[in-house]
Amino acid sequence: MILGSLPKNKLKEELYNSMAEICKKYAKEVSTPIETAGFKGSYPERYELAFKKVRETDFIIGELSEPSTGQGMEIREAAILKKPLVVVAKEKSKVSGLVKGCPVLEGIVYYRDLEDLKTKLNKFLKGYC
């Protein structure tokens, strides 16, 4: 499962799609914020859907270049459920100290651009899986 702020432009969509393609080498199912953005249900239904995905996933990747309260809530749920988490963030992004101290955090991958992210995320997942 990939967490992140909702995609507001094509660059963010490309980022999530690229991450998903890499993750599909290591997982049967991959979800991204793109699906969440397209969800047409009510706010309570969106809330339940997000936490259902966290409960059902085995591994979480959080794209934390931009702060998002919803992501923080999902990460907290992952910690409670002891779901492994890796954070990816653009270089010079400020990753919260609470996230850095999260007991399920497996690592933080800082990247320069999309190609750098693809290389580093693939390397991390290959070593982790």
The secondary element (H helix, E strand) that includes residue 101 is none
At residue 68, the pLDDT reads: 86
Place of tokens 């750098």: 116
- The alpha carbon of 69 is separated from its chain's Cα centroid by a whole number of angstroms, namely 13
pLDDT at 81 over 90: yes
At residue 61, the pLDDT reads: 96
At residue 34, the pLDDT reads: 87
At residue 3, the pLDDT reads: 87
The secondary element (H helix, E strand) that includes residue 107 is strand 105-111
pLDDT tens-digit series, residues 1-56? 888 887 788 888 999 999 999 999 999 899 999 888 788 999 999 999 999 999 99
Domain residue limits, the chain: 2-128
The CATH T-level fold of domain 2-128 is: Rossmann fold (3.40.50)
